[in-house]
Each structure stands twice: as structure tokens, then as C-alpha cells.
Amino acid sequence: MRATERIIVTGSVQGVGFRPFVWRKAHLLALAGEVRNRGDHVEVLATGTEAQRNSLIEALRQGPPHARVETVTRTPDMRIFTGAFTIATSEAGALHSGIVPDLALCRACRTDINTPGSRRWHYALTCCTDCGPRFSIVTDFPYDRANTTMAPFTLCAACRAEYENPADRRFHAEPVACPACGPRLYYTGPAQPEEDPLDSATRLLKQGGILAIKGTGGYHLACLATDTAAIATLRARKHRPTKPLAVMVADADAASAFAAPSAAELLLLQDASAPIVTVRATSVLPESLAPGLDRIGLMLAYTPLHTLLLAQVGQPLVMTSGNRSGAPQAIDDETALHDLAGIADGWLYHDRRIARRLDDSVRAVVAGQAMTLRHGRGLAPRRLPLPAGFASLPPVLAMGGDLKAAFCLMQDGQALLSHHLGDLHAEGVENTARQALADYRSLFGLTPAFIAVDAHPDYVSHRLGATLSQQRALPLHPIWHHHAHIAACMAEHGLGPDTPPVIGLALDGTGLGPDGTAWGCEALVCDYRTAHHAGRLAHVPLPGGDRAAREPWRMLLAHLDTALGPDATTRAVAQGLLPALHNRPLDALRAMIRTGLNAPPCSSAGRLFDAMAALLDVAPERLSHEGEAAMRLETLARQNTHMRPDSLLPDMRFALARTPDGLWELNPAPLWKAALSAKAQGIAASTVAAGFHAALAEGLADLVVKLLPEPADTQEPPSALPGFTQAALRTVVLGGGVMANDVLVSALVTRLEAMSLRVLRPAFAPPGDGGLALGQAVITAARARMETI
Ligand SMILES: [Zn+2]
Ligand SMILES: [Zn+2]
């Protein structure tokens, strides 16, 4: 019997060709009815037999390629539709929509731009329902052309015919365009008269020039990745001496020709998010792209413009963000022309406006699993469905951290982590963050009941959140930095608000701990609501405070003096074993350490890596970007050829002991002694670096063992954990920026899994401060519920 059903589909279902998909299925099944976007979901009204409707439901659960269907609900409807199934006009509804991230150029469109005679041959802004800009062009919801930056371009007759033909690949593709009606390409810079912009840009690049090029989420600066002189010029003009530069290649084959991606990395490279993926470098590309590192950031050409340019140039291109050092990436043409003068020699751009700045996403395969290191273009604004139990909790706005700023909106059991906003201390970024916040609030319509911030009162993000909380009279929840790191990872792995406690290992640079010291290598026994500090790296001073984070030799002195005493350190300097400490103001630093003036105690893992990199002479005198020394140390460790560095260096280990206040403390004193003596014996630095990573993994695993429940009636109770059921502690959750270190994480996961422990690692949200906001949000929501019970 024919009947009508109203079907609601939620998830990422707008901007992915969902309505045409429904239309085609309905026609195949001979159903009558209609489909429309309604604010945050797609509504289908279908009249037909039960069998026909069931087949449609089955198809809806799958959806088209880039959709992510979360729920499909069906209810009977009294209307009876006759005639052909149609696509109805969209309606603005409740905000908070399923708008999808920007999508890389699809295969069919790639064919279009490469086929002479095609209407879109060489057309740099080609797209369809399976590819093209989305979040970067949206100005309002629902997702319709009028609510994108394509609104000023009126479809020509041919494009309109495609747009209205349900059988066409561009049916209801909102950014659809062609050379006759769409945005055009422009070029500013040295050129021949009447020359095609793409040809001028190609010539500029081939001559070693620097090109500013408009991408999906902002401007890039490009030059030949094979030309060391061009790379040197770009670095000098951008004041970016050593920070790795990303390289764009034409396709997966080119990626394998110019570097050595693994099979898993090749898959990531070809993802529709087209991220920068860090892969093993070979000697094919110049070392100056990533000095001192054995990894290079690669991405595939992801827009038709990039694809055409790379085909004409015939070589990989450096593709680094188009900004003056420290400032946000330029997105509008005037700013790019103005701000990048003096850096770029030419500009290649088009008149499709970028609605919001989206940095390239960065992903990596860490110990066999994909991890997001920067959440940007192609990934944002994905929503993370939270585990059952969060849906009924009050909405929260979490402000994240400062260095890799990103905020998080949590509502209706979903977390929306913003795209990467940059360093809030850099010029213009605080303003960018304010705008982004307003942007997300208007697009996604969150009305928070709570504001969550990092507990550090000096964080810019803390101040922004505190101001908002005052303006809106909302409770402010300060969240401890390392608890937030662990909670973020718990949430993305489906642990519900009532989850029993887990063991969290949070390793990063520094974050403020509840005891007022700078934390950075901590073991927590925690659920969402409470965190019990159970272990840490032994304290060392940070001589010079913030300067100690930028100058690794300071940390080398602090660590050696703490571990071996000043006399032994001085002797080693005199013996020429410590070039990093030559001609340094050691006495001044020691005075600081002695008096405790500007030398606060820290338990930072990041600073431990810095110090070890300085010992092994791979740390620069002064870091030019965060993590530089640690990344070089990891590279050094991978160069080790000794099969078992830990058997060669048996004393290279941490001591583990309990402090008077019950903390398990990893003391690196034996490690420093062994490393220094290995250096004196002439053991390869790479072997010592590998031994260090192994020792840290071993130390952390030993610490975890101390926190595990022990068989009843043996020895002392494992540790004082008020209110926790120890039997549940079989899950170890990793967090913090150090967890992007493949050598460490591989060794650590192997050890933990050998003990039959379940190990959870960040994948959706970055392990570092870019993922903090997610953790802050879920902690606050879980606590808010406890208060209301
Ligand atoms: Zn396409
Ligand atoms: Zn057209």
C-alpha cells in the first residue's frame, strides 16, 4: 500500500550533494515526494510502497561519498505525493548545520580541466557536488549559493542547465561555475602583454621567483621546491630561518618520487581533506626545506588552480602560508598585495572571496595510526559525536589554549572544534580569534551555559573567556591544562561522562599545574570530573623562565646540575664534552637557580627533550619554532643503527621513587650520567638519542605499573586514590604535544599493550594545545551535571 513517510537525516549532510543523491535514489525507486535542507538536517518526504521506502532508507543510511550520516529517523506523514520526486527550496531553520569541510578536487573534475574541448578546460575554479570549496565560502546557513561567496556570480545558461539537471554531476553544486560566468584568474607582477595569468605565474616560478597564490583558505607563498636559491630567498624574506616548509606535489606518484611516504601516509595524502602529511624525506629534495629533520611535510595539489599550475611548472612547489612572519595568513586580495609586497614577486589570484581563514591541516601517521597535528582546511568544521550521556548535558564554550589556539562548542552531544587559529600572542591573532568566535556563534548558533578556560590566569584565552563570562553572566570554569589533554582523548574514544577513571599520561612543553609549578610530564588518575596527580618527572628549574623554553642549552645546564651537581657539569665542560655550554653565562644561570629567582620549577617533558638535544649537539642555540630541538632529537634517534641501544646503554634509565607526598617520580639522574659517559666513550649520538627515547618509554611504562591495581593482600596499596575503584584502571590515555613523537609513542604503546592495557591516543583532535578546548568542554559539561544532581 502506498503511504508517505517523513524522514530526517542528520550528520554532515549539507554541501555534499545529499539532495541530488536522494533525488536519484527516489527516481530509481519510482517514489514520489520531495527533499529539502532544513537548517541542520535534510528532510525527505517519500510516498511509495513499504518496500520502496525501505530501500530508500537503506540508501540514506549510506549517503553520497563525502556525507557522514549520523541518524535517520522516520515518521508517518498524512500527505500523499503524486508525480515526480522533486528538490524543494531550502528553509532556514534551527542553526547549527551539517556544513562540510572543503573538499579536494575530484577525479571527474580533474578530467574536465585536462580535456581540451571541455567547457572547463584549464578553468581554475572548476568544482562539482563531490569537490570544491565549502566551509571557506559559506557566509550563512542553510548551505545554498546565496549564502556563499559565489552569490555575486550569476549562473550562465549552460551552468544553470547542469545545476538544474538531476542527472548531472553538478546538480545543485552550489559553487558551480565556468569560464563564462564564474570567478576569473588574475595575475599581478612581471608579465608579457596579454599573457594568460597562469603562464605569467609559471614563468615567474621557473625563473626562481616567489609567487603569492590564493588557495582555498588563504594565500600561500610558493617557489620551486627543487631550487635551493629560491628557498633561501623565501626564508630570508619571510624571516623564517629553519621552520620546515611544506611542499605541494601534483599527485600520489609525485609524492613517492620526491619523498618516501608509507602506504598509510599515501592514503592520508589522498584523503578528501588533502592535508599536509609528514613523510620520510629522501635526498631528492633539498635539505633546506626541513633543516636537520628526516621528515618533510607534503600535500597533493587540491584545487584546480594548484593542479594546473603544478602541471605547467612540472616540479613540486614550496607552499607555505602567505603571511609576514608571525602574522595571520592573508585571505583577501588587497591585504595579500599589500602585506606580501617585499616577499612575493608576483600574485596569482581570483575573485572568489574567501569567507574565513583556514590554514592547511597537518596530519601524520604516528606509531601506525593517523593523528591530526593541525585542525584546519579540509577537516573543520567536522563535529565529533560525543559518547552517550553527553547529549543531555548543558552547552559549553571552551576557549582552548594560547599557542595553538582553537575553541570548542559543545552542544546536544556533539563537539565542534574550531579550526586552528594560530598563536594568540602573535600580531593580529587575538583579533582573528574574536572574529572566529563571533563567526562560529552566528553560523552554529550556540548559546553556552558555561565558559571553560585554561586555569592559567595569564593565558590570553583565559582572559577572553573571563570577559565573555562577565558580559553574559555565565559561570567560568578554569580547567587544569593536563587534565584537559587527557579528557580530550577520552571523549574522542567514546568514554561516557560516567566512565571509571583511567591512567592519563600527559607530556608536553609546559602548562600550569594545581600546585603552581609548570607541569609537562604527568601521570594522572582521572575521570572527567576529577584528576588525581599520581606521578611526574622530577622537578628541575627553568633558568630564565620563558627564555629556557627557547634556549635548550639553559635546560641542559639545569638538568646536568640537578642530576650530577655543578662540579661534575663544569668538569665535563672543561673536558670539551659539552659544546652547547661553551662560552655561556653559566655562573649567572646558577645564581638564578640557587636563589630561585626567575628559575621556577618544572616537570616538563618538552624541556627534557630540549636538554638532551643540546647534550647531543643537535639543538640550535635558540629555537626558531616550537618543538624544533625535540624534532631533531627524534630524527637523530631514527638514525640509530644499533639494534638494541638499551642493551648497549643499560644504565640509561630513569629512577622511579615515591615522594613524601605520595607522587611517583621519574628521576632522570641515572640517565644523564649514562648519556654523558656514553658521549665520553664516543658512542654514536644517534644511539644515545634512541636509548633516551627507549628509556623514557620504559620509565613511563614502569610508572603506569605502579598505578595499576595489584592482587589483593600484597605489599603496600599502590597509591592513595580517594574514591576511585582501582580495578577499572586498565586504560591508559595519552595526551600532550610530545605524543606526536613517533619513536617515543611506538615504544610506549608496545610496552603498555604488552601488559594487556588498552591504550587510547589522540586522532581527531590534535594531541597538543590545539585539542585542549575539547577536553575543557567535556570536563566542564560532566562537572556541570554533577552540580545539578
Ligand atoms: Zn568535482
Ligand atoms: Zn557558467
Q: What is the pLDDT of residue 60?
A: 94
Q: What is the pLDDT of residue 44?
A: 95
CB neighbourhood size of 32 (10 A) = 19
Ligand having the closest approach to the CA of 177: 2
- Report whether 258 contacts 247 (CB < 8 A): yes
Length of the chain: 789
CA of 143 to the centre of ligand 2 (A): 20
Which long-range contacts (C-beta less than 8 Å, at least 24 apart) are formed by 652-661?
652/678, 652/688, 652/691, 652/692, 652/694, 652/695, 653/695, 653/698, 653/699, 654/695, 654/696, 654/698, 654/699, 654/702, 656/699, 656/702, 656/703, 656/706
| Cβ contacts of 695 within 8 Å, gap of 6 or more | 646, 652, 653, 654, 671
**pTM (2 decimals)?**
0.92
Predicted confidence band of residue 412 (pLDDT cuts 50, 70, 90): confident
Summarize pLDDT for 575-611 with one digit per residue, the tens. Answer: 999 999 999 999 999 999 999 899 999 999 999 999 9
Sign of CA dihedral 282, 285, 287, 292: negative
Range 421-438 average pLDDT:
92
Of 460, 457, 469, 447, residue with least CA distance to 396: 447
Q: What is the pLDDT of residue 650?
A: 87
Range 482-498 average pLDDT:
96
What type of residue is 510?
Answer: T
Segment among 382-391, 654-663, 697-706, 718-727 with least mean pLDDT: 718-727
Strand partners, 219: 214
- The helix (H) or strand (E) run that includes residue 762 is none
CA of 155 to the centre of ligand 2 (A): 5
CA of 352 to the centre of ligand 2 (A): 14
Q: How far apart are CA 516 and CA 502, in angstroms?
A: 24
CA of 334 to the centre of ligand 2 (A): 26
Strand partners, 221: 212, 320
Range 640-647 average pLDDT:
81
- The helix (H) or strand (E) run that includes residue 508 is strand 502-512
CA of 273 to the centre of ligand 1 (A): 14
Range 688-710 average pLDDT:
94
Range 360-385 average pLDDT:
96
Q: Render the burial of 315-341: b for 16+ CB within 10 Å, e for the rest.
A: ebbbbbbbbbeebbbbbebebbbebbe
Q: What is the pLDDT of residue 94?
A: 38
CA of 319 to the centre of ligand 1 (A): 23
- Please measure the distance between the N-terminal and C-terminal CA atoms of the chain and give it in whole angstroms: 49
CA angle 7-9-14, nearest 5°? 130
CA angle 555-559-562, nearest 5°? 135
| Most confident option among 91-105, 494-508, 720-734 | 494-508
Ligand having the closest approach to the CA of 107: 1
CA of 503 to the centre of ligand 2 (A): 58
Range 734-745 average pLDDT:
98
CA of 104 to the centre of ligand 1 (A): 8
Q: How far apart are CA 294 and CA 314, in angstroms?
A: 24
| Most confident option among 13-22, 324-333, 630-639 | 630-639
CA of 562 to the centre of ligand 1 (A): 60
Query: Which chain residues have CB less than 5 Å from ligand 2, an ion?
Result: 156, 159, 178, 180-181
Q: How far apart are CA 318 and CA 289, in angstroms?
A: 8
Q: How far apart are CA 625 and CA 575, in angstroms?
A: 31
Predicted confidence band of residue 738 (pLDDT cuts 50, 70, 90): very high
Predicted confidence band of residue 720 (pLDDT cuts 50, 70, 90): very low
Q: How far apart are CA 489 and CA 504, in angstroms?
A: 9
Predicted confidence band of residue 749 (pLDDT cuts 50, 70, 90): very high
CA of 160 to the centre of ligand 2 (A): 7
Task: Extract the C-alpha cell encoding 19.
Answer: 539532495
Ligand having the closest approach to the CA of 119: 2
CA of 350 to the centre of ligand 1 (A): 19
CA of 129 to the centre of ligand 2 (A): 15
Predicted confidence band of residue 344 (pLDDT cuts 50, 70, 90): very high
CA of 73 to the centre of ligand 1 (A): 30
Radius of gyration of the chain (CA): 28
Q: What is the pLDDT of residue 15?
A: 73
| Cβ contacts of 682 within 8 Å, gap of 6 or more | none
Omega of the bond prior to 766 within 30 degrees of 0, cis? no
Q: How far apart are CA 316 and CA 300, in angstroms?
A: 10
Strand partners, 65: none
Mean pLDDT of the chain: 93
Query: Higher model confidence: residue 413 or residue 232?
Result: 232
Q: How far apart are CA 252 and CA 229, in angstroms?
A: 26
Predicted confidence band of residue 718 (pLDDT cuts 50, 70, 90): very low
Of 426, 314, 442, residue with least CA distance to 359: 426
CA angle 33-34-36, nearest 5°? 160
Ligand having the closest approach to the CA of 184: 2
CA of 555 to the centre of ligand 1 (A): 52
User: Three-state SS for 748?
Assistant: helix
Percent of the chain with pLDDT over 90: 83
Range 433-445 average pLDDT:
90
Q: How far apart are CA 252 and CA 38, in angstroms?
A: 38
| pLDDT higher than threshold 80 for residue 715 | no
Alpha helix segments (H runs only) across 403-515: 429-444, 460-471, 481-492
Q: What is the pLDDT of residue 443?
A: 87
CA of 309 to the centre of ligand 2 (A): 22
Predicted confidence band of residue 714 (pLDDT cuts 50, 70, 90): very low
CA of 170 to the centre of ligand 2 (A): 11
CA of 178 to the centre of ligand 2 (A): 4
Predicted confidence band of residue 90 (pLDDT cuts 50, 70, 90): low
What type of residue is 503?
Answer: I
CB neighbourhood size of 250 (10 A) = 21
CA of 304 to the centre of ligand 1 (A): 10
CA of 698 to the centre of ligand 2 (A): 62
Query: Higher model confidence: residue 329 or residue 395?
Result: 395
- Report whether 357 contacts 219 (CB < 8 A): no
DSSP character at residue 519:
E
Ligand having the closest approach to the CA of 105: 1
Range 173-189 average pLDDT:
96
Q: How far apart are CA 247 and CA 300, in angstroms?
A: 9
DSSP character at residue 17:
S
Predicted confidence band of residue 523 (pLDDT cuts 50, 70, 90): very high
Q: How far apart are CA 167 and CA 512, in angstroms?
A: 58
Q: What is the pLDDT of residue 562?
A: 97
The residue assigned the cell 586498565 is 730
Predicted confidence band of residue 706 (pLDDT cuts 50, 70, 90): very high
Range 8-36 average pLDDT:
89
CA of 158 to the centre of ligand 1 (A): 17
- Report whether 102 contacts 51 (CB < 8 A): no
Segment among 66-80, 239-253, 676-690 with least mean pLDDT: 66-80
Q: What is the pLDDT of residue 98?
A: 57
To 10 degrees, the CA torsion angle through 536, 540, 546, 550?
Answer: -90
| pLDDT higher than threshold 80 for residue 145 | yes
Give the phi and the psi of residue 163 in degrees, each rounded to 5. Answer: -60, -30
Q: How far apart are CA 96 and CA 414, in angstroms?
A: 11
User: Three-state SS for 371?
Assistant: strand
CA of 311 to the centre of ligand 1 (A): 18
| pLDDT higher than threshold 90 for residue 502 | yes
CB neighbourhood size of 56 (10 A) = 25
Q: What is the pLDDT of residue 172?
A: 84
CA of 144 to the centre of ligand 2 (A): 17
Ligand having the closest approach to the CA of 163: 2
CA of 354 to the centre of ligand 2 (A): 20
Alpha helix segments (H runs only) across 539-585: 546-550, 552-564, 566-574
Segment among 85-99, 230-244, 577-591 with least mean pLDDT: 85-99
Range 390-413 average pLDDT:
94
Ligand having the closest approach to the CA of 170: 1
Q: How far apart are CA 141 and CA 442, in angstroms?
A: 9
Ligand having the closest approach to the CA of 155: 2
Q: How far apart are CA 395 and CA 777, in angstroms?
A: 9
CA of 109 to the centre of ligand 1 (A): 4
Percent of the chain with pLDDT over 70: 96
CA of 100 to the centre of ligand 1 (A): 15
Q: How far apart are CA 695 and CA 655, in angstroms?
A: 10
Range 491-506 average pLDDT:
95
Predicted confidence band of residue 788 (pLDDT cuts 50, 70, 90): low
CA of 256 to the centre of ligand 2 (A): 37
Cα separations (Å) of 577 from 244, 569, 580, 677, 682?
29, 10, 9, 9, 10
Which residues in 195-344 belong to E strands, given as ranges? 211-214, 219-224, 247-249, 259-260, 276-281, 295-300, 317-321
Ligand having the closest approach to the CA of 162: 2
- The helix (H) or strand (E) run that includes residue 171 is none
| pLDDT higher than threshold 60 for residue 619 | yes
Range 291-297 average pLDDT:
96
CA of 306 to the centre of ligand 2 (A): 21
